[in-house]
Structures are given as C-alpha cells and as structure tokens.
Amino acid sequence: MRRGSSLPPPSPASGERHDWDTLKSLLPYLWRYRRRVGFAMLCLLSAKFANVGVPLIFKQLIDGLTITREQAFVVVPAALLLAYGILRFSTSLFTELREIVFARVTQEAVRHISLEVFRHLHSLSLRFHLERQTGGLTRDIERGTRSIGSLISYTLYSILPTLVEITLVIGILLKRYEPSFALITLATLALYITFTITVTNWRTALRRQANELDSAANARAIDSLLNYETVKYFNNEDFEAQRYDTQLRTWIAAQIRNQYSLSALNLGQALIIAFGVTAMMWRAVAGVIAGTMTIGDIVLVNAFLIQLYIPLNFLGVMYREIRQALTDIERMFGLLKTNREVEDKPDARDLPEGPLGVRFASVDFHYEAKRQILFGVDIDVPAGRTVAVVGHSGSGKSTLARLLFRFYDVSGGRLEIGGQDIRNIRQHSLRRAIGIVPQDTVLFNDTIRYNIEYGRPGASQSEIEAAARAAQLHDFVARLPDGYETRVGERGLKLSGGEKQRVAIARALLKNPPILIFDEATSALDSKTEQAIQAQLEAAARGRTAIVIAHRLSTVMNADEILVLDGGRVVERGQHAALLSRDGAYASMWALQQREAAEQAA
C-alpha cells in the first residue's frame, strides 16, 4: 500500500489524462442539481441563438429601407449601435440569469468537495500529517477550493455555448456568402486555438513551479511562526527572515517569468485576431465595390465580427483559466486519491459496551523498516485494572499509546481490546472507547470551556465544571476575569504547561471512556499539584482499564502491575515493592529519582 507521506507527482505538461479525470470527478457533485444545471444551460444556449439572430434581423431591416447615399452614413452606424446595445443587454440578462440559477450549484459543489477533502485528511494516518508541512497543505487546499467555482463555470457554461455560436456563424457565412468568409473565420479560429493551447501548455509548467514556490514560502513562514518561542530563545529572527526572503525571491522570479509568458500569449492572440479581422473586412469591402454585397450585408458581417471577436477573446481567457484552475485543483484532488495507511476492513465491528481489557501479544513495531521500536512486547491489562509502563526516554512507551489508538498498525503480533484484534474493529468505535491525557497537550485557539467540552461535545456546564474540579482546574478558572470563556490562544500558549495539562485531564475525564491512557499526564505539574491530581487520577481510573505511561516512578506506585520498558523490550514486571526487592532496572531508576528529589529539596 502506498504511504500517505506525499502527494502524487504533478501531471505532465499536456495534462490531458489528469484534466479529464478532474472534470469527471466533478460530475457527481453537479448531478445532484441537474435541473438547475439544465435550466442554466438552456438560458445560455438561448442567449447564443438570440445573439446570432440579431444581425440577421437588422440586415433584413436595413435592406428593406429606401435610403440615399447620404442617409446611409446615418442609418448604418445607428443600426450598428442599436444592435450592439441589444447584444450587450441580452448577454448581461442571460449571464445574470445563469448566475442566479447556477449560484447554488457552484457553492454547494465547493462545500461538498471541501468537506470531503477535510474528512479525508482526518482519515489519513498520523505518518502523513507528521511528514507534511501544514502551511503548504492548507495553501494547496485554499487554492484548490478557490478554483472549483471558476472550473465548473468555465467548463460547463462557456465551452459549449462558445462552440455553438461559432458553428452558427460559420454556417450562416457559408450559406449566404462566398466560401472565403468562412475559410478566413475557420483559419483564424484554428490558428488562434492552436497558438493558445501551445503557449498555455508551456505556461502551465511555469504556473506549477510558481505554485510550488508559493507553498514553500508560505510553509516556511507558518513553520517559523508556530515555533515563535524557539526563534526567540535562540535570537534567530534575522535568520528566519533571511530564509523567508530567500523563498520569496525565488517565488518572485518565477512570478515574473509567468507574467512575461502571459504577456507573450496576449500579444500573440491579439495579432491573430487583428489579421483575421483585417482579412474579413478586406473581403467585405471588395464585395461592396463589386456590387455583390449590400449595406445590410455590411451590417451583418460587422455584427458577426463583433460577436465572434468576443467569444474568440473569451476562448483564450477561458482556456487559460481552466488550465490554471486544473493546475491549482490538481493537488487538492490528489489528496482524495492518497491511500489511507490505516483503514477499516469491510466487515469491521464495533466494540461491545462495558469494561474492556487490553492485550499486547508479542507486538513488534517499526516506523521505518531499518529502525525497529518494539520487540515482542507482551502486556496484559485485565478489564478494570491499572498497568503502568515506565522506562527511560526513547524506550517506546508513547508508541504503545499510538498503537492502541491505531494511528499505526503493528508490524508483528496482535493488539487486542475486549478479546478482539483492533484491526477488526471500526476505528471510530475504538477511539470512542479510549481517553488519553497526552504528554504534549495542544489546545484549540478557543475558550477553556470549549477545550474541556471537546471531550464530549454537548456536555452541560455543570458536567464541564465537575471535570474541571476533578482535574484541580476549577479554582484557577474561577479566578480568571472571563472564567470558562477565557481564550487560551494559539495551541494554548496563554496557559502554562501545568494548566494545559489539567485542561487535558479534565477533557479526558469528561469523555468518560472505559479505557484511560495517561501518557506522562503529570509531567508538567509541580510536586504539590501532582500529589493533588494523582489521587483524582487514581479515582478516575478505578473501575476502568487504565494504562499509565510515566517516567516519574512516584506516580505509578499503586498500579496493579508495573512494566519496565528498555530498548523496546519488557525487561521487568511486577508490583512496586516486588520490583524494588529485585534490585534490578526499576530499583536503579527509583534510587536515582529519589536522589534527584533529595537534591532538589536541599
């Protein structure tokens, strides 16, 4: 299975296969509003037929008039102006009518696609998110969603009406006049389209490069701002600014090349149109001189020139916008094709209600094949019991929690909950049954109330306050001017480490799951607060299956069983007193921590 660590590579310059895939992927979203789409299409097709019919009506009107040569200089311009006014009004009328009818289709399609990408991102593995830069990812999504509306509009409501109008005009020219008029029109169209496609395909590579550099610069800025404190600690503001400026300079150079290519495209298109218009007028003037064309024919040809010039010019803009939109949206749609590393089986089941035991049976695991983390780990946590896992940093303790949440699948062995292999359990049901207090608590940039309530959305204020009291947090919140409505800032930076950890404890207690994981749950607390909370944690764990991951041994003395993990292997297991009597790894850790505590007290 392909890992979700990167997006699919960009499409080649031609992009035909990817372009068609993108267009086909939009159809299900539009099909939900097929009546609106059909009505809007009918409006635009009617507008094109009306626009083509206007010059024909005026030709008959003018040819039916008996006028002198002097009067012709007044009548013809007036007729042209009137035709132009009617044309402009009808175009605006049907365009606005289309926008009214089609507005909901576009916005609902954007909403559904954005929501689908958002859900898919949350369904991808932890590995994907750890290896991606959030700034670049959000920029890709932002550009993709912004381009959906223009892509839908240009694809369904510009290409077909434009082709219909061009076909009608060429057919009328072939029927009413000599073939040279139609041949000039066809040649101009063919040259214009060929030139536009060729140059735009070349520009697509430049556009993609500019987007990549834009995402890289944005990711650099966000990464630096997220590490604001680290930048300040090492006095590296100038260093960060220089790195950001280097990215910006590269992006600016790409943008300038992109603008040069756009100007070249616009000039080439204008030159082709100028040649086509000149050739058409030359043939029309020759027809008037030869007496084969009337004043009405001049009005008709001029009106057709005006009407063809607009779609021709719009065809170039339309093609460029479609290609640019496809380039922007390609990466976002690529996210939907990113395989999930961890996925539910078709026959996956929900966990049963009630107490649940946890069992690691000869579990092996590695993040990378060359670096194994766990080696044959056996841990049995009966329902309602508390097991502690201790060890030095890097021994693999926190990896156990990630495996239990099924952020990754085990490389070998089995991980069971309630006697079932968790690979046969629906992930939603699995994670609903587990509550965790992580070592590194990250909070939403919202209120304290919101962050506690996140453990069980919809909980009452009294339930939130009860969880806060159990976490020794309520008194602190009550002293704040805004109380539970106090905002915690980006990632909770307005709170201290201990305050954030107490919010995490309250959040886990509010969730009230049958299984609790405390991953260094009191590591950021002072000794006094730790002692106060430790009793609450033990009370919360009573009657539940609890796994306590700790470095500080004083927090796990009362556990039903303590396991010592070293180098990814369980080297000792037993209760606190029994492990001390063995004078092994646990006893050595205990003695060391007792000396450190005595030195700090002195």
202-238 confidence digits (pLDDT tens)? 877 787 788 888 888 888 888 888 888 888 888 888 8
Give the integer Cα–Cα distance in Å for 196 and 186. 15
pLDDT of the residue at 341: 74
pLDDT of the residue at 135: 59
pLDDT of the residue at 65: 59
Given a cut of 60, whether residue 494 has pLDDT beyond it is yes
55 with 201, same domain: the answer is yes
The pLDDT > 90 percentage for the chain reads 14
Give the integer Cα–Cα distance in Å for 304 and 284. 12
**Strand, coil or helix: what is 322?**
helix
Assess if residue 114 is contained within a domain. yes
**Strand, coil or helix: what is 572?**
strand
Assess if residue 373 is contained within a domain. no
Assess if residue 398 is contained within a domain. no
Strand 561-566 relative to strand 386-390: parallel, antiparallel, unpaired? parallel
Q: Quick one: average pLDDT of 133-138?
A: 64
Lateral strand order in the sheet of 434-437? 434-437, 515-519, 545-550, 386-390, 561-566, 569-574
- Range from 149-163, 224-238, 404-418 that averages highest in pLDDT: 404-418
**Strand, coil or helix: what is 71?**
helix
115 with 249, same domain: the answer is yes
Give the integer Cα–Cα distance in Å for 188 and 313. 12
Q: Which of 315, 336, 357 is the last residue of a domain?
A: 336
330 with 474, same domain: the answer is no
Give the integer Cα–Cα distance in Å for 77 and 303. 11
The alpha carbon of 119 is separated from its chain's Cα centroid by a whole number of angstroms, namely: 9
Q: Quick one: average pLDDT of 492-521?
A: 85
pLDDT of the residue at 195: 87
Of 245 and 528, which is predicted with more confidence? 245
Q: Count of domains in the chain? A: 2
444 with 310, same domain: the answer is no
* pTM of the full structure: 0.63
Instruction: pLDDT band for 524, please (50, 70, 90 cuts).
Output: low
pLDDT digits (tens, 9 = 90+) for 550-588: 888 888 888 899 999 988 899 999 999 999 999 888 999
pLDDT of the residue at 523: 67
CATH code: domain of residue 475: 3.40.50.300
pLDDT of the residue at 452: 92
Q: Which domain holds residue 493?
A: 440-512
Q: What is the mean pLDDT of the chain?
A: 79
The pLDDT > 70 percentage for the chain reads 83
Assess if residue 135 is contained within a domain. yes
Q: Which of 336, 353, 388 is the last residue of a domain?
A: 336
313 with 451, same domain: the answer is no
Assess if residue 585 is contained within a domain. no
pLDDT digits (tens, 9 = 90+) for 439-458: 778 888 889 999 999 889 99
Given a cut of 80, whether residue 480 has pLDDT beyond it is yes
pLDDT of the residue at 496: 81
At 68, list the tokens.
Answer: 């002198």
Given a cut of 90, whether residue 277 has pLDDT beyond it is no
Q: Which residue type sits at 337? A: K
CATH code: domain of residue 295: 1.20.1560.10
Strand 515-519 relative to strand 545-550: parallel, antiparallel, unpaired? parallel
Q: Which of 336, 361, 382 is the last residue of a domain?
A: 336
Assess if residue 412 is contained within a domain. no
315 with 444, same domain: the answer is no
Q: Quick one: average pLDDT of 235-248?
A: 88
pLDDT of the residue at 32: 78
Lateral strand order in the sheet of 371-381? 371-381, 358-368, 412-417, 420-421
**Strand, coil or helix: what is 65?**
coil
452 with 326, same domain: the answer is no
pLDDT of the residue at 286: 82
Of 531 and 7, which is predicted with more confidence? 531
**Strand, coil or helix: what is 496?**
coil
Instruction: pLDDT band for 78, please (50, 70, 90 cuts).
Output: low
Assess if residue 402 is contained within a domain. no
Assess if residue 354 is contained within a domain. no
456 with 310, same domain: the answer is no
Q: 527-541 and 461-470 helices cross at what angle (nearest 10)? A: 120
Question: Which residue from 550, 586, 557, 589 is spatially nearest to 389, judged by alpha carbons?
Answer: 550
